[in-house]
Amino acid sequence: MSQVLTVSCKLEASQSQAAKLDATMEAFGQALNWVNQNTPEKIVNAVKLQSLCYYEIRARFGLSSNLAQQVCRRVAGSRKVAKQKKRPVKEFKSGFVTYDARIFSFRQKDWTVSLTTVEGRERFELAIGNYQRGMLAGSNPKSATLVQRKDGSYYIQICVEKKPPKQQDTDKVIGVDLGRTDIAHTSEGDNWNGQQLNKVRDHYSRLRAVLQRKASKGTRSSRRRCRELLQRLSGKERRFQAWVNHRISKAIVSRAKATNSAIALEDLTGIRERVNQQPRSKAERRRTNSWAFYQLRQFLEYKARVAGVSLILVPPAYTSQTCHKCLHIHPDPAQSYRSGKSFKCGHCGWEGDADLNGANVIALLGAVVNQPRGSGLFCSLVEQSRLRATESPLRTA
């Protein structure tokens, strides 16, 4: 099965070409909002939207046939996502245009792309480096998105289909324990501490609180300015989270590939809803809910697939309470061998970092899934006693 990757490439546009791109993005954005406001919200089918307003889009905004169809597809797709999240599509921002193979083409011999604008077809040179050239070489992309960044530069985000390499067969597994104190801790001892990250997130939280108070009072201009700052602040925190998650996922996947290992993660689907049912302070609830753990899992999944590394999801039950040495759990359900960041087993006596212990338990579970040979998990102390009993003279007699 192929994998779709996005390659972001900067466009070299002359002054006249830039004017055509601006006009195209402006018309495309206006058409999106017009279709969204003038058609029933319940229509989420692109063909139905096209039958309702195709000719009106072309007449009002001067878009080509295929760009008008792209408008209908974009509105329909956004409405489907909004329907799943049970919220309406309020407004589309300008500054982008979606393309398919009929109105976009890539040519490798001179590293250029051809795009349809409101004033006809234009060819643009790509200002790219070796990474982008390597990703685009030998490909035949069928879709792309034109975007304009805040500095005024133009980028084309090209979707490339790549067949991922065959996943390597291995018995070795690196367990990864995700958390808030340590964002990620591996069974090999690598960890990414969340203390500095919490400081940054708390800083953003304090700023939001101040701006929200100011946005609720004051003059109209000051309220508008505070809302603009809140929007910018949200984007900065989101980009910061993505940057950290990219660094962590890249390091973990690189280590797994270098050691010919698979990666094991806890399947934390629905963990936020379950944890929120527990009584906690407002600050603890915010800190837990604000970090994008699912995004980190997504980054690990696609980077592992590109690198040919297997990624295994294991059930999270008791991974933080089980000793990785003897696989023993505290007999009293109301108690645990774990206390904060420390873990001390009352059965075999192992003592150390609780997240390291959890990562090792995850690695053991991942090894069972990766190379199934029966259960594979048993208490080593019990097994030693069983072996001694087997070798006893009374037993053999």
Evaluate whether residue 395 is within a structural domain. Answer: no
Q: Are residues 210 and 104 in the same domain?
A: no
For residue 144, the model assigns a pLDDT of: 95
The pLDDT, as a whole number, for residue 279 is 53
234 located within any domain: yes
Query: 151 and 198 in one domain?
Result: no
Same domain, 80 and 220: no
What's the pLDDT score for residue 334? 82
195 and 151, same structural domain? no
Q: Confirm whether 390 is domain-assigned.
A: no
Shared domain for 90 and 212, answered yes or no, is no
The residue out of 138, 161, 184 marking a domain boundary is 161
Among 184, 201, 192, 354, CA closest to 284:
201
Backbone angles phi, psi at 292, to 5 degrees: -90, 75
Provide the residue range defining the domain that includes 81: 3-161
Residues 339 and 232 in one domain: yes
Distance, CA of 250 to CA of 363 (rounded, Å)? 19
Residue linked to tokens 């295929």 = 66
Mind giving me the DSSP string for 137-170? TT----EEEEEE-TTS-EEEEEEEEE-PPPPPP-
Q: Do 143 and 233 lie in a common domain?
A: no
> Looking at residue 207, what is its pLDDT?
85
Residue 393 lies in a domain: no
Spell out, as residue ranges, where the chain has pLDDT lower than 50: 381-397
Judgement on whether residues 81 and 207 belong to the same structural domain of the protein? no
Q: What is the pLDDT of residue 281?
A: 61
- For residues 200 and 232, state if they share a domain: yes
In a domain, 152, yes or no: yes
- The phi and psi torsions of 374 (rounded to 5 degrees) equal 80, -155
361 Cβ contact partners less than 8 Å away, ≥ 6 residues apart: 175, 319, 320, 322, 324
Kind plus residue range of the DSSP H or E element containing 302: helix 293-307
**Residue 381, pLDDT score:** 44
Residue that finishes a domain, picked among 161, 182, 200: 161
Indicate whether 24 and 46 sit together in one domain. yes
pLDDT reported for residue 164: 81
Query: Is residue 29 situated within a structural domain?
Result: yes
- Are both 119 and 187 inside the same structural domain? no
Residue 232 lies in a domain: yes
Q: What pLDDT score does 292 carry? A: 72
The pLDDT value recorded for residue 391 is: 47
What DSSP designation does 379 have? -
Give the number of residues written for the chain: 397
User: Do 351 and 219 sit in the same domain of this protein?
Assistant: yes
Q: CA 147: distance to chain centroid?
A: 20
Number of domains in the chain: 2
The pairing of strands 311-314 and 262-266 is parallel
Give the per-residue pLDDT at 79.
93
What does the pLDDT read at residue 287? 53
**Domain presence at residue 293:** yes
Using one digit for the tens of pLDDT, what is the confidence trace for 299-325? 999 899 989 999 999 888 888 888 988
Q: Which residue, of 108, 129, 161, is where some domain finishes?
A: 161
